[in-house]
Copies of this chain bind each other. A is one copy, B any other.
């Protein structure tokens, strides 16, 4: 059913900012307001009044039953879908010269689609909806934290599978297969980013994939998991060594673990995102890894795998102050040293004024034989 409280809050902010309507084109905000998902979510939330859903004729019956929305515009073709949106915009203009329409400017909004929308709607000025939505999405309510907790539990099941599967001779992709499967079997609804299994020289990548590379003795292997549960994500990353570790690997791992721990200790309401980085970087510096520090040790997570504050994408977000009820990850960037590879650890936390609660709960040991459940 529609979450009218969230719609009301968004409408209040839209009015304050002179935005006439929010045109929803992405899954995350569609789920946020309508608590259901579909392949091509399209809706218009005017600053005042009821939301309008734009959907395929074959989905009308179900949308009406599921949402109780009166105004459902039905399209039977892409051309008609565009016309429907144009018609909604025309119906809203009244005596204004231009309509100010908010659109999410993030990974789910392709430039070509936005250009098509602008060409079809010359009466529209498109603005970024972030000033309306960021404040709302940053603060998680109890139901959201519960869903992220569920995703975090699924991530832990995936990581346990990784520990049991990893060995010399298996490919990255074979490990990914087992991890992905175990997370789906645990109730997960797919992944927000492909399962990362990066080994050996590939462990030093900024972000990973899973390839047909055979995992070898002595390899560092980075496993990064972002499963979804009912749209919500949690992020859990661990690094393992195959076989016997060497001193350099151990030193890098200890440095990363201490840097992550220090940043977790610093994660409290009132602190700025950049303070987490200053804390983590000081540990790198102490250990002689200063030149390898990649800024952006923490980011928010929820209906997107990376959402505001997301300082590795928007460096300006490092000035945002962390507050009560945010859900953040700590440990995002890799410590990558040419010749050795990379290490990363990442966990997801619920920040409250009383305490910072870990949602991902998984041991962090570099050596596979240190895990007692293996």
Contacts and interface: CB of A to CB of B under 8 A. Distances in A.
Given A39-B206, A58-B342, A338-B60, A110 B112 contact: no
Interface stretch (A5-13, A174-182, A256-264, A349-357): A174-182
B56 A338 contact: no
Contact of A56 (B76, B206, B295): B206
Contacts of A336: 56-59
A56 B208 CA distance: 12
B205 A38 contact: yes
A184 B176 contact: yes
A370 interface: no
A296 B71 CA distance: 27
A98 interface: no
A294 interface: yes
Contacts of A292: 57, 76
A207 interface: yes
A109 B110 contact: yes
Interface stretch (A14-22, A100-108, A242-250, A320-328): A100-108
B177 A59 contact: no
Contacts of A59: 204-206, 336
Contact of A110 (B37, B106, B312): B106
A149 interface: no
A249 B111 CA distance: 40
A26 to B, nearest CB: 10
A108 B209 CA distance: 17
Contact of A105 (B39, B111, B189): B111
A114 interface: yes
B177 A185 contact: yes
Contacts of A114: 111
A307 B58 CA distance: 25
Interface in A324-369: 334, 336-339, 342
A207 B334 contact: no
Contacts of A37: 209
A111 to B, nearest CB: 4
Nearest to A57: B336
A202 B177 CA distance: 27
A126 B297 CA distance: 33
Closest 4 CB pairs of A and B: A58-B336, A177-B184, A39-B207, A58-B204
Given A58-B205, A180-B184, 17 more contacts: A56-B205, A56-B206, A57-B292, A58-B337, A59-B205, A59-B206, A78-B296, A78-B313, A79-B315, A105-B111, A109-B110, A110-B111, A111-B111, A173-B187, A173-B189, A189-B211, A190-B194
Interface of A: 37-40, 56-62, 76-79, 103, 105-115, 128, 173-174, 176-177, 180-181, 184-185, 187, 189-190, 194-195, 201-202, 204-212, 291-292, 294-296, 312-313, 315, 334, 336-339, 342
25 contacts: A38-B205, A39-B209, A40-B207, A56-B206, A56-B336, A57-B338, A58-B205, A58-B206, A58-B334, A58-B338, A58-B342, A59-B205, A60-B338, A61-B338, A61-B339, A76-B294, A103-B111, A106-B110, A109-B110, A110-B111, A112-B128, A173-B189, A174-B185, A189-B211, A190-B195
